[in-house]
Structure 1
Amino acid sequence: MRRSCFLALFVLCASLVSADWHDALWLGRGDVWRARFPVTVTNPSDAALDGQPVALTVGDQPDQAPLAGARAEALRVSNSQGRQLLYALWAPGLDTLITTGAVPVGAVLSLPAVCGPATSTTYHVYFDNAHAWGLADFFDKRPVTDLNGDFERGVGDMPTGWQQKMSDAAHRLAWSTDAPFSGARCLKAETASGAAPTWFGFSRSDFTVVPGARCTVRIRVRGENVSGTAGWYVHVGDEQNPQLLNRVVKTGDGTFGWTETQITFTVPEGATRMTTGSVLHGSGTAWYDAFTFATDRPAPTPTARVGAAERLSLTELGADAPWPAALRCRPHWLGRITAPFRPHRRAAERLWRHRLPIRVVNLRDAPATNLLAVADLASAARGIVAPEFRLTFDGQAVEACRLGDRLLFSCSPDARSIMTYYLYVADTGKRPETRAAVASALGSDIPSDQILAAGSDTTDAAAFAKLLAGPVNRVKNPGFEEGADQPDGWSRSGEGKGVRFSVESPGGFGKHHARMTVDKSVAASWRGWQQSVPVKAGHTYLYGAWLACEGLEGSALLHAHLRTAQGQVASGGFLSAGAGISGTAAWTPMFGTATVPSDASQLQIHLTMDARGTLKHDGVFLAECLNAATGDPETPAMGHGELAVWPVDPIVKVFHETLPPTQRAAGAIALARNEEEALQLALRAGRNIADLEIAVDPPKRRDGRTLDAFTIGWVGYVPIDHPTAYYNLTTPAWQLKHPTRGGSSDGWSGWWPDPIRPTARGSLRANQTQAVWLSFKTTADTAPGTYAGSVRLLEAGKRLVRRVPFTVTVWDVELPAASSCAAIYDIRLSAHWSADGSTAAQQRERLMRVMADKRVSPDEVGAAPVFTRDAQGRITADFTAYDRAAQLYFDELKFRFSYTPNFFYLFGWEHPPKKVMGEAPYEGEHPYAATDRTRLRAAYKETYQACLRLYWEHVKAKGWADRLVLYISDEPFLTKKPIIDQMKALCDMIHEVDPKIPIYCSTWRHCPDWNGYLDVWGVGHYGCFPVEEMRARRAAGDRIWFTTDGQMCTDTPFCAVERLLPHYCFQFGAEAYEFWGVSWLTYDPWQFGWHRYIHQSSTPGESYHVRYPNGDGYLLYPGGPVGVQGPVTTVRLEAARDGIEDYEYLKLLQRHAGNPQADALLKEFAALVEIPNAGGRFSTRILPDPSSLAALRLRAGALLEQLTAK
């Protein structure tokens, strides 16, 4: 019996650890930290320390960190509560951060000191984990022993301790020798003639300050031909608001000699840090020297003492077990030779694709028995839609139970041991089962933060029944088989008139289940069954049960309490699991995990509800569990001389563990005229090939014509630390931030293909698959027909190791040069894009041209009109820069839509409208909590409308108005009345200028109050905005766009949503889709495939740190880090282009409506997309069979060629 599993389970449990050895540290990659040493930090002052730096030198002397030679990537720091701390490891001169390689003697380890007044605290520094990945975030407060205020010390072109901010080719910074005030060096800033003013400069942010202190900064500045502001700034604040105090002091303008500038200030209450630096906001050249900082209240100086290092001695069992012959993916060589002559050969011979090591760790001094190991299956399936699993230990099969995306199995690890199991994975090739419609819920009030409320897999109830009745389950009478109406081991509460408790048949796992019925007339109250089970502090337990209901008014889920020995609820002791059921629902598993706090000794299962109707329970479970960490996948080794090459549909991502199919198809692609199409090839060798060149013989028709417009690229692989989701934290700045729950996607942690590096040369590692990308492009003049070419693989550029033939068919069908469906991606630039020295304007134009080539569009023109108000209050506008940019955008690059300039954007989330030219939107104080949001200030309306009227009349005169949309608000909190009211007032203000101005808002969901106010609705394509309401809005004259934030992620096995979004647009009447970024970066994406936690506020007065989904906001990479000039495309952007071209095929088929074949094909295309759906982060659910889309496209091209010929 198999049942749908509606379950989201993330096991937050560690290995069985010795004392306080914190082994579940971030990015351990399934391995164990084998060494650590304690650091005792002492605060000698009468003030608490909250992240001040304390330093240790690396060496073998007393109170030095014993890290010499250790892998820097494996360093982790934890306090006594197991919270991981940021750290920084500096080169001996404190001028370079060490993040990789062996730690040198003399390096400086900087830690955040967090302890109360006149107290000490102990940290542990962990090291020696051979598989651990390096961190992306480090402690940003350098132990300041030397301000380097004379700027004499430095490395390369950077003075030690100082950073360059926002420099580019037009805003240049240098560590200069140009006539310094003293010594040999100074700082220099220079702005090119005509460049726009920016806040670029040198800065330093590692100053710790004390609230109430009186501080003085002094700096010498000289200038030459300065226009604007040349001087110095000071920002003082905390982690949430770094500018509680913001002071900029102008030294002078024109040409002037060395002049001292002084900034004196009092540190605001709550401030802890200072950032200071140079200013040249304008034009000219400025130099800076002789910086000093003084304070009357120096920050407390903590001390650190180092204890003796500890090392683990572990017995390792089961590691490196050979592949059992029966599970090998490829048969023996003799079997391969004789296979064609054996009609009844076993299908299982090539079934098992890869295996993952699963490590069970017991660091305690005693063996453990009857524990439940929990392993992640999402990382095992790796995009296989219908996988099969087999668990082994030492080559022997191990019984296991699949529960949603987790694998459960019983284990009894020896003392101080690591047991390595192997999970073998097969692709059954079965077609995916049709799923019931899925539901989504909000992860927060931000509409794009949607989570799937349905599970992804099935659960084997028979396997679970064995666990249920086995020794791992601590629950007595878990299936209610013993006892009658009062089952053994269970008590009940809330009995009374209209409430009926009973044990009924049949059961979910046996003969019986527990049943509770509450009549509609009964007052709401908590009632149900309970059982208390002894648990141990510090241990982790998996608890759960199966629930079903009939006519349930309200919702029910699984509850549990952690209680003290006295029966009180322990700290953090209220627990729950599951998404909840209501109405009438079949048996649904709900499971969660809990780590027992120090004051708890019982876990009390509560099979309770406060709803009315019938609630049923069965299969109650509680087991001590431990995380069975999965390692990287392994595949059988190829023969040393073997090399496999095979084509892969570009919508499917090729992983290092991807193996060649049993039957390899020929390399063949087809495309229309005015189209681009990729041939993705997978390469895999049995040996390392350090230098492999991809040479393409241009495909040629029989008459000699060739296709010469093609590019060659090697697909790059980037690391992903954790499956995609939105992750919010409110932890202190000094704590390492990382996800603490499971993801909301079909991805996993590991190496993911994404960028396509434009090069013909690369390398192969033995038994690792590598994707290469050949992209062919046609024009309107390309001759139709079949072209034959070949790919030559050349080792070291000379020796031919393989020739691979392929064909390109060009259909006699022409796609329009201008795309019919708009795909809008915001351009957002950061320092990563200007690292090659280009200006923001240069990078923006590069990005725009690449986007035009890929048939996608930027969000806006890229320049703004300049509005000014004279002394009489008259507002005028300068459109010079805007017109120049708009001519490039609309006239040359032919982009279909643009948002109006950001000046006219008004608010986001739950915030009130922004000020406009200094005018506040409402009377009173921000955030206007008690203000009537329907009543805008007259001066605010007049100012905004005057600017909008000038702009609108101008763009109408230029002929651009019908291509513009006014983006009023992003993701407004549409359930909040103040937001509903202010939106209506703002829309009225805009439409008073001209009712024809189209107002766009990315609402995601429908807000009936805004009908008649919004003109263009940005709706979620996964079902949060009902299809019927889309039709109603369109019938009312509104337009529909799909808004898609958080959908196009790196870690999805298929490029499904990128390819399918135009299909959704076609089928559901949306004229465009928009995605919030093509270039938004928080790290170097070549180095880290995930995002930094950024500080964000979606509600006035509230803030948090949020990490956006992996790859969210960018589909292009800066080329600088890999030596490429300009942006680098990705497999995701190429899929987006393919989708836009698919839309044209659909439009062409639509022109032949009434033709039976065309109508039938359109119907089949329509079946690919449905609303509701699982969302873009679940590619294997929205497109479980990628080959179906490819097959439909081939049929469409061939049919259109026939119909065109007729």
Structure 2
Amino acid sequence: MKKSKIATLAVTAFITIALYIYSLYSAYWTFKRGNVGEIILYTALLALCNGAIMLLYTLTDKKRSHSTANKVIVPIAALLFNAAAYPAIGFGVQKAVSPGVGGGVAAGYACIAFGVALAIFFNGLSSRGHKVVSKLTAAVCALSLICSGLTVTYRAIGDYSFLKPFYEISKASSDIGGVPTKDADIVYDFAYATEKNVRDTALGKDETIDIALAKNEWEGFQVVFATAAKDKKVNVSVTDFKNSNGDTLKTEIFKEHYLEVKGLGDVYNCEYPDALIPVTHTGDRVGAAELQKGLQQAFFIRTRAEKDSSAGEYTATVTAVNEKDEVILEKEIKATVWNFTLPDAPANESAFGNGGGTFYTLSGVRDGDDEAAEKLRLQVYNMLLENRLSPYNLPYDILDERADAYMSDPRVTSFVIPYSEDDDLLVEYYTKVTSNPDWAKKGYFYPIDEPGNAEAYAKYTEITDRLSRLCPGYNMVTPFNTDKVIIDGKEMSSVQLQTGKSSILCGLSEVLNRGTTLEEMQNEVKNGSRAWWYVCCAPGGDYCNFFEFLDGIKHRLLMWQQRSFDISGLLYWSTTYCEKANPWESTKTWDDYNSAGDGMLIYPGGYIGFDGPIASLRLMNIADGMEDYDYFALAEAKFGKEWVNEKIAKVVTSPTEYTSDHALFEQVRREIGVALAEA
């Protein structure tokens, strides 16, 4: 073999090793999940395709002489190169894509490879005659397959970040909308808390905003900035809201942190705001916000009226300064506190997961540091409680006296009773919980999730039989994600299978929209059961959920839909799930970006040097939805169920049909608030 070919193979080998090491580093989370089978399958497919290319080249090129060794070495080199190149391309660049996306990339690359292979083959035949036909066939094969492959690959990857440099020089990056500030290069817009846009969306033209809230309620809004220039910064502050008597409302401000949701944006950008970093934070990712050309930077501001706050008007001043510390915006914002009070106990029962695991590790809690773990556990628990959400797990063992105060807290609507395999311990847990009627209503078992076949329901029956024997009168929730299950050849409904065993019937929101599921649940409510629903990595499409790329109004409207269906509780499997991705680095917290942010509503603050958990914009909208549900409960008691349903129907007509008009939504909310204040 010539020295030039040996050098080429050596360089190829070096690049292969480097790419392979990089792919292993980048694909850590994918390999950790154990998708080795998919990796091997796709790698083998690509290796075969590209090996075929090289083999066809050596066999059909009549203009050059190839030894048998070359005919073997060249395909082997191609095999080795692609065995490493695919993980680098498919996993390294995409940072641990899901098997579905990996398959798309593999299919696209395979199309390209076959296109090139056929082109080479037919081109080789052209040296033996039929030159025009052969070359034309080669061109058609190459063009059709390569274009198809590029399309499939692009759609599979869906990563627009490589277009960002083109965005900055495009006309779109200068079309930023907004209202001018005193700095000619910076514009602003005020927005409702429910508004969430792709980061390169042009700003609206709202020069100011006003808010309204009940006593014992939080209410927020956003102020958003953008620039068409470079090297611009903005910092924002806000005073407490104050009335004419000098009474104040606690007010907070956060800088919104943006994250990519690959493939779910527009031509140039797929970043959405989510993490809310307190402006008082002095660690990482803090300080004046650096404005990127054509991209939004929002700040979230919220205030709270306490139960003893005076009703009436309050004002606060929002101030923004640029990189030169020049005041570029000063706006007085009005808040109206209505003369009615939300109860401490939410009308909407909730059960939100609050596990630990990787969340604690990313927060900086070391193994064995019980004191730090307890501190973080309490911080997460209290954050959820402050936002009217009840965590699954109490911050202390049920048998610990410190748990008593939490079980008695009116803000806590539910908690999990551990399902111990030890009979004596199980009975001890249950005996303590049932010693207090209030605790007994809140406590529930949750030993099995989403049974969907005969085997799962056999296990379910074993559990419920044991609980009936050891813990008579127990409460249990068993979320179900299918309306029908076939057992022994007979089709049975999930509600039918759980009636009399799970006192809390909890279906996936989309399942309640199927067949007679909702009707069956409502019938069982008449017999003493409770009706909850839940969302998770499903449903998608037009259904409301808590995914990062969904408009904030969809997080909040879920509770409006819930009330219209007479569903009394909301379950969500986790708020701190970080096992598949560091949420500061990737939004793919579950298996793909179509459920971006699933199971993760609270960020590990320790990762950026903040002492405590970091809330999300989604969490704030969910909390607002919980407060809306309280409005409905109060209004139903005063004006009747029909009156409430008429209001809800103005914004929600079905699980997949609802308004996207933020102003209309706020108008209807205020209609209810004003009516309650004047009643």
* Residues 1:1021 and 2:509 aligned together: yes
Residues 1010 and 708 from structure 1, CA distance in 2 versus in 1: closer, same or farther, beyond 3 angstroms?
A: closer
Equivalent of 2:407 in 885, 890, 894: 890
Which residue does 2:533 correspond to in 1? 1042
Instruction: Give, in angstroms, the shift of residue 1149 of structure 1.
Output: 1.1
Instruction: Give, in angstroms, the shift of residue 1080 of structure 1.
Output: 0.6
Alignment of 1:154-233 (within 5 A): none
User: For the residues of structure 2 that align with 1:997 and 1:979, how far apart are their CA atoms?
Assistant: 20
**What secondary structure sits across from 2:80 in the alignment?**
strand
Equivalent of 2:588 in 1077, 1081, 1090: 1090
Equivalent of 1:951 in 429, 451, 462: 429
Residues 832 and 997 from structure 1, CA distance in 2 versus in 1: closer, same or farther, beyond 3 angstroms?
A: closer
Which residue does 2:239 correspond to in 1? 697
* Residues 1:1185 and 2:668 aligned together: no
* Residues 1:800 and 2:327 aligned together: yes
Instruction: Give, in angstroms, the shift of residue 826 of structure 1.
Output: 0.6
Which residue does 2:68 correspond to in 1? none
Q: Deviations over 1:80-103 (max 9, x none)?
A: 74379xxxxxxxxxxxxxxxxxxx
User: For the residues of structure 2 that align with 1:648 and 1:1168, how far apart are their CA atoms?
Assistant: 19
Instruction: Give, in angstroms, the shift of residue 1167 of structure 1.
Output: 5.0
The question of whether the paired residues in 2 share the 8 Å contact of 1:966 and 1:1000 is answered with yes
The question of whether the paired residues in 1 share the 8 Å contact of 2:193 and 2:222 is answered with yes
Which residue does 2:105 correspond to in 1? none
**What secondary structure sits across from 2:315 in the alignment?**
strand
User: For the residues of structure 2 that align with 1:646 and 1:816, how far apart are their CA atoms?
Assistant: 34
Residues 841 and 40 from structure 1, CA distance in 2 versus in 1: closer, same or farther, beyond 3 angstroms?
A: farther
Equivalent of 2:522 in 1017, 1023, 1031: 1031
**What secondary structure sits across from 2:222 in the alignment?**
strand
Alignment of 1:825-974 (within 5 A): 825-838=352-365, 839-864=372-397, 879=399, 882-884=400-402, 886-891=403-408, 894-903=411-420, 916=421, 944=423, 946-959=424-437, 960-973=439-452
Which residue does 1:82 correspond to in 2? 46
Which residue does 1:1197 correspond to in 2? 673
**What secondary structure sits across from 2:500 in the alignment?**
coil
What is the RMSD of the two structures over their aligned residues, measured on CA atoms? 4.3
Alignment of 1:446-525 (within 5 A): none
* Residues 1:659 and 2:170 aligned together: no
* Residues 1:1150 and 2:636 aligned together: yes
Which residue does 1:1011 correspond to in 2? 499
Which residue does 1:1119 correspond to in 2? 605
One-letter identity of the residue aligned with 1:1110? A
Q: Deviations over 1:455-485 (max 9, x none)?
A: xxxxxxxxxxxxxxxxxxxxxxxxxxxxxxx
**What secondary structure sits across from 2:435 in the alignment?**
helix
Which residue does 1:999 correspond to in 2? 476
Residues 997 and 793 from structure 1, CA distance in 2 versus in 1: closer, same or farther, beyond 3 angstroms?
A: same
Instruction: Give, in angstroms, the shift of residue 1111 of structure 1.
Output: 0.5
Equivalent of 1:750 in 270, 287, 301: 270
The question of whether the paired residues in 1 share the 8 Å contact of 2:406 and 2:412 is answered with yes
Alignment of 1:464-863 (within 5 A): 536=141, 539-540=144-145, 631=163, 634-637=172-175, 641-661=184-204, 663-664=205-206, 666-688=208-230, 690-701=232-243, 703-723=244-264, 750-759=270-279, 761-796=288-323, 798-838=325-365, 839-863=372-396
The question of whether the paired residues in 2 share the 8 Å contact of 1:791 and 1:805 is answered with yes
Q: Deviations over 1:1164-1201 (max 9, x none)?
A: 21453455x34xxxxxx544333322111111112211
**What secondary structure sits across from 1:845 in the alignment?**
helix
User: For the residues of structure 1 that align with 2:303 and 2:352, how far apart are their CA atoms?
Assistant: 24
Which residue does 1:572 correspond to in 2? none
Residues 656 and 1043 from structure 1, CA distance in 2 versus in 1: closer, same or farther, beyond 3 angstroms?
A: closer
One-letter identity of the residue aligned with 2:651? L
One-letter identity of the residue aligned with 2:534? T
Of all paired residues, the percent bearing the same amino acid is 18
Point out where structure 1 has 5 or more consecutive residues left out of the alignment. Answer: 1-36, 42-54, 85-115, 139-362, 368-534, 543-593, 597-623, 725-745, 866-878, 904-915, 918-943, 1094-1105, 1175-1180
Greater helix content: 2
Which residue does 1:503 correspond to in 2? none
User: For the residues of structure 2 that align with 1:1183 and 1:40, how far apart are their CA atoms?
Assistant: 61
One-letter identity of the residue aligned with 1:1135? N
User: For the residues of structure 2 that align with 1:136 and 1:66, how far apart are their CA atoms?
Assistant: 13
Instruction: Give, in angstroms, the shift of residue 1131 of structure 1.
Output: 0.7
**What secondary structure sits across from 1:766 in the alignment?**
coil
Instruction: Give, in angstroms, the shift of residue 749 of structure 1.
Output: 7.2
User: For the residues of structure 2 that align with 1:1013 and 1:133, how far apart are their CA atoms?
Assistant: 48
One-letter identity of the residue aligned with 1:1041? W
Residues 636 and 125 from structure 1, CA distance in 2 versus in 1: closer, same or farther, beyond 3 angstroms?
A: farther
Residues 365 and 1113 from structure 1, CA distance in 2 versus in 1: closer, same or farther, beyond 3 angstroms?
A: closer
The question of whether the paired residues in 2 share the 8 Å contact of 1:980 and 1:1010 is answered with no
The question of whether the paired residues in 1 share the 8 Å contact of 2:224 and 2:298 is answered with yes
User: For the residues of structure 2 that align with 1:1067 and 1:38, how far apart are their CA atoms?
Assistant: 69
Which residue does 2:463 correspond to in 1? 986
One-letter identity of the residue aligned with 1:1165? I
Instruction: Give, in angstroms, the shift of residue 1128 of structure 1.
Output: 0.6
Which residue does 2:486 correspond to in 1? none
User: For the residues of structure 1 that align with 2:632 and 2:451, how far apart are their CA atoms?
Assistant: 34
Residues 841 and 39 from structure 1, CA distance in 2 versus in 1: closer, same or farther, beyond 3 angstroms?
A: farther
One-letter identity of the residue aligned with 1:778? A
The question of whether the paired residues in 1 share the 8 Å contact of 2:549 and 2:596 is answered with no
User: For the residues of structure 2 that align with 1:643 and 1:861, how far apart are their CA atoms?
Assistant: 47
User: For the residues of structure 1 that align with 2:26 and 2:377, how far apart are their CA atoms?
Assistant: 35
The question of whether the paired residues in 2 share the 8 Å contact of 1:1000 and 1:1015 is answered with yes
The question of whether the paired residues in 2 share the 8 Å contact of 1:1149 and 1:1162 is answered with no
Instruction: Give, in angstroms, the shift of residue 1079 of structure 1.
Output: 0.4
Instruction: Give, in angstroms, the shift of residue 117 of structure 1.
Output: 12
One-letter identity of the residue aligned with 1:807? K
The question of whether the paired residues in 2 share the 8 Å contact of 1:747 and 1:1052 is answered with no
User: For the residues of structure 1 that align with 2:194 and 2:256, how far apart are their CA atoms?
Assistant: 13
Which residue does 1:1078 correspond to in 2? 575
Which residue does 2:551 correspond to in 1? 1054
Residues 1091 and 540 from structure 1, CA distance in 2 versus in 1: closer, same or farther, beyond 3 angstroms?
A: farther
Residues 797 and 83 from structure 1, CA distance in 2 versus in 1: closer, same or farther, beyond 3 angstroms?
A: farther
The question of whether the paired residues in 2 share the 8 Å contact of 1:39 and 1:122 is answered with no
Alignment of 1:322-361 (within 5 A): none
Equivalent pairs, count: 542
One-letter identity of the residue aligned with 2:298? A
> What TM-score do you get using the length of structure 2 for normalisation?
0.70
**What secondary structure sits across from 1:967 in the alignment?**
coil
Residues 1016 and 539 from structure 1, CA distance in 2 versus in 1: closer, same or farther, beyond 3 angstroms?
A: same
User: For the residues of structure 1 that align with 2:220 and 2:401, how far apart are their CA atoms?
Assistant: 37
Residues 626 and 595 from structure 1, CA distance in 2 versus in 1: closer, same or farther, beyond 3 angstroms?
A: closer
Q: Deviations over 1:1013-1033 (max 9, x none)?
A: 221111122214632112222
Greater strand content: 1
User: For the residues of structure 2 that align with 1:967 and 1:1056, how far apart are their CA atoms?
Assistant: 30
Residues 854 and 134 from structure 1, CA distance in 2 versus in 1: closer, same or farther, beyond 3 angstroms?
A: farther
> What TM-score do you get using the length of structure 1 for normalisation?
0.41
User: For the residues of structure 2 that align with 1:980 and 1:897, how far apart are their CA atoms?
Assistant: 25
1138-1147 or 1046-1055: bigger deviation: 1046-1055
Instruction: Give, in angstroms, the shift of residue 708 of structure 1.
Output: 4.2
Residues 1170 and 1002 from structure 1, CA distance in 2 versus in 1: closer, same or farther, beyond 3 angstroms?
A: farther
User: For the residues of structure 2 that align with 1:670 and 1:807, how far apart are their CA atoms?
Assistant: 8
Residues 823 and 540 from structure 1, CA distance in 2 versus in 1: closer, same or farther, beyond 3 angstroms?
A: farther
